[in-house]
Amino acid sequence: MSFTVAIDGPAAAGKGTLSKAVSKHFGFAHLDTGLLYRAVGAKVAEGQDPFRAAEELVPEDLLRPDLRTLGAGQAASRVAALPSVRVALVDFQRRFALAAEGAVLDGRDIGTVICPQAEVKLFVTASAEVRAHRRWLEVGGDEAQVLAEVRERDERDMNRADAPLRPAPDAHLLDTSELSIDEVVAQAIDLIAAKRG
Going by the annotation, the residues of the binding site for ATP are 9-17
Q: Give Cα separations from 144 to 67, 77, 135 (angstroms).
A: 22, 20, 11
Query: Virtual CA dihedral for 106, 107, 111, 112, nearest 10 degrees?
Result: -170
The number of C-alpha atoms within 13 Å of 101 and in the hemisphere containing its C-beta is: 9
d(CA 82, CA 80): 5
Identify the bridge partners of residue 18 per DSSP, sorted by sequence position: none
Considering only CA atoms, give the Rg of the chain: 16
Binding-site annotation: residue ranges: 9-17
